[in-house]
Structure 1
Amino acid sequence: MNPNNFRLFLEVAELGSFTKVAAQRQTVQSHISRQISELEAACGGALFRRTGRGVVLTDLGQHIETRVRNWVRDTDQLLAAIRTDAGEPMGEVKLGILPSAAHPLMTRLYQRLKADFPKIKLNIREGQGGELDALLDTGSVDMAILFRYQKPASPDEHLLATVGTYLVSRVGDALTRHETVDFNKLEGLRLVLPRRPAHWRSVLDETARGKGFTLQAEVEADSLRVQKELVAHTDHLYSLLGPFSIADELRSGRLQAARIVNPDCRRHVTLSLPKQGQLTAASKIVARLLRDTVEGWGNQLSQLE
């Protein structure tokens, strides 16, 4: 049954006259009478009794009036809520991220969404560069934060930050005591490196070959935590990591690091969007908040203290 028919029923019950309702609705009395007759037929009985002064509710009409009034009120509230929701961004946004972007960037993103766009939900998946590219290409994620080794020029990629690479060691190591270390010093070092065929591993291997030596992988591991824990607990074992992935350990004094130079092996952190298909309103908001947050942090993936 149409709620509008019962709105008319309630209006007639309150005014007690088809004529008054017709005048209020700027229509003819016969139109109101016909609609009420159709409603009575649908309900299976008369809802109004005609009198010389207008109409009054029958026993059936009185029986359903309160229930109908509550139903119409609830329906109006539901429609109002739907209209409100129609203007409010909502939905799930699937986001692929590098491990180093997990915190505090994702924490801040969640907090901003919860405060301003509570109906947008995050679905966060962590992975390495090639894996994130594949997830983006297959539509498994709506966008991804990943490393590029050249500054992005495509409109589908937005530069978030540019970072160097650090030789990371246990605290007290002589090689990482200074601010920088030459890439040539990596020759002969025992290293914890990402597993092949990671793109970053290929870049490091090719850079070393260009210098005339081969990097010595003591351990291969994709997990940042594994890399950092091995280095933190082993003398003369090193890893090659970005600044955001070791920021907490450097502040707490658990690790020591020197920036690699000659070359500096710079990487570009980008927000990559699908090459095909339209972004949802929710995805556009998440992308904007990510860019605004990183820019507000001075184009860093963490807030400088």
Structure 2
Amino acid sequence: MQTPKATDFKLDITADLNKWRAFVAIGELGSLTRAALFLDSNQSLLSRQLNALERECGSRLFNRTGRGVELSEVGERLFPQVKALLEGAEQLEVEIRGEVREPTGRVTVGSLPSIAHPLVGRLFSDLRERHPAVKLKILEGSSGQVEEWLSDARVDIAILYRYSSTLSEHEQALATVDSFLIGAKGDRLTLRPELPFSQLDGLPFVLPSVPNGLRTALDAFARQERISLTPVIEADSLPLQKLLVAQERLYTVLPLHAVWTEMAEGRLQASKITSPPMQRIVAMAMAKSKGPPRAVSAVASRIIDIVADMAQKGMWHSGPAL
């Protein structure tokens, strides 16, 4: 009887798949900076890894250009083989972890603070109960930052405001929110349930600085209505905006859900802006995901359900209405 023999795999340069994962990310994104963001690493570490990999291969894998990097001739030949190797390794991990039965892995969600604050706590609780193997990473930022994270695939899911009913094919409308003039406790103007946009003329505002989606929309409405809407102070921080309204008796413009807690506690007041109304869509955008697909789908599904439930409580309206 012939003695069985083990397969003799000779692995050296390909033994560390993380280095080759970095190689693929740099090759696809064409930039060390973008690849570092995608991999949650830093540019200097990635540069050292790339230099070490090129030394091991004995050949330059990328050519440096004024705009970033591009695959060299050797890199071009290796790229499809390396990508196939990583895809095979990823599939093996899926099968080992049993992801076909239960979603697992980390999902990164990028959101504006005004949406994240009422949403994230509920999302975390729901996922811990329904999908305990799914881990969340939350990034908060301005609309421009969230757009950049989405473009760089630094997030798997982005929650954004849109001021038009026309969305891209990768976006889904979750809800429509009205805009409210926010004032301090006892303020006579915001005691009214509604007020026309023209009443904002000349008020002492605290508003986010340009560029900002809300600020752009407000400025456009002000020009259309021929009124003056100039902030006495600019602040991009949502908590700071609310603090200045409450303490300094300034005004700002926010959706109702952004001041839900302060309204319930009687610290702030809100009057719905009408004539014309200022509405925006809460949209969910999906990146070319770096996260585990089943886990990303599970998180997206929970976000949709939670937003619908919040609509029933009066935070916003279900679906698009612009």
TM-score in terms of structure 2 length: 0.65
Per-residue deviation, residues 224-263 of structure 1 (Å, max 9, x unmatched): 111111110123x211111111011111100111011111
| Pair 1:288-2:306 in alignment | no
Alpha-carbon shift at residue 213 of structure 1 (Å): 2.2
The SS at the match of 1:134 is helix
Per-residue deviation, residues 29-79 of structure 1 (Å, max 9, x unmatched): x68xx66xx89xxxxxxxxxxxxxxxxxxxxxxxxxxxxxxxxxxxxxxxx
Q: 1:127 to 1:103 in 2, by over 3 A?
A: same
Residues 189 and 238, structure 1, Cα contact 8 Å, conserved in 2? yes
Alpha-carbon shift at residue 295 of structure 1 (Å): 1.7
Q: 1:188 to 1:232 in 2, by over 3 A?
A: same
Select 2:128's aligned residue among 114, 121, 129.
Answer: 114
Indicate the percent of aligned positions where both proteins have the same amino acid: 38
Which residue of structure 1 aligns with residue 119 of structure 2? 105
Q: 1:83 to 1:211 in 2, by over 3 A?
A: closer
Select 1:129's aligned residue among 143, 168, 190.
Answer: 143
Opposite residue 237 of structure 2, the aligned amino acid is S
- Determine the C-alpha separation between the residues in 1 that align with 2:225 and 2:201: 9
Select 1:94's aligned residue among 108, 121, 125.
Answer: 108
Which residue of structure 1 aligns with residue 177 of structure 2? 163
Alpha-carbon shift at residue 218 of structure 1 (Å): 0.6
- Determine the C-alpha separation between the residues in 1 that align with 2:301 and 2:255: 24
Opposite residue 244 of structure 1, the aligned amino acid is H
Which residue of structure 2 aligns with residue 52 of structure 1? none
| Pair 1:271-2:284 in alignment | yes
- Determine the C-alpha separation between the residues in 2 that align with 1:276 and 1:123: 14
Per-residue deviation, residues 176-226 of structure 1 (Å, max 9, x unmatched): 111001111111111011111112111101110111122121110111111
The SS at the match of 1:165 is strand
Unaligned runs of 5+ in 2: 7-94, 318-322
Residues 160 and 300, structure 1, Cα contact 8 Å, conserved in 2? no
The SS at the match of 2:103 is coil
Alpha-carbon shift at residue 83 of structure 1 (Å): 5.8
CA RMSD, aligned part only? 2.7
| Pair 1:192-2:190 in alignment | no
| Pair 1:251-2:257 in alignment | no
Count of residues in Structure 1 that have an aligned counterpart in Structure 2: 230
The SS at the match of 2:191 is coil
Structure having the higher Rg: 1
My pick for the range that moved more, 204-213 or 96-105, is 96-105
Residues 155 and 289, structure 2, Cα contact 8 Å, conserved in 1? no
| Pair 1:220-2:234 in alignment | yes
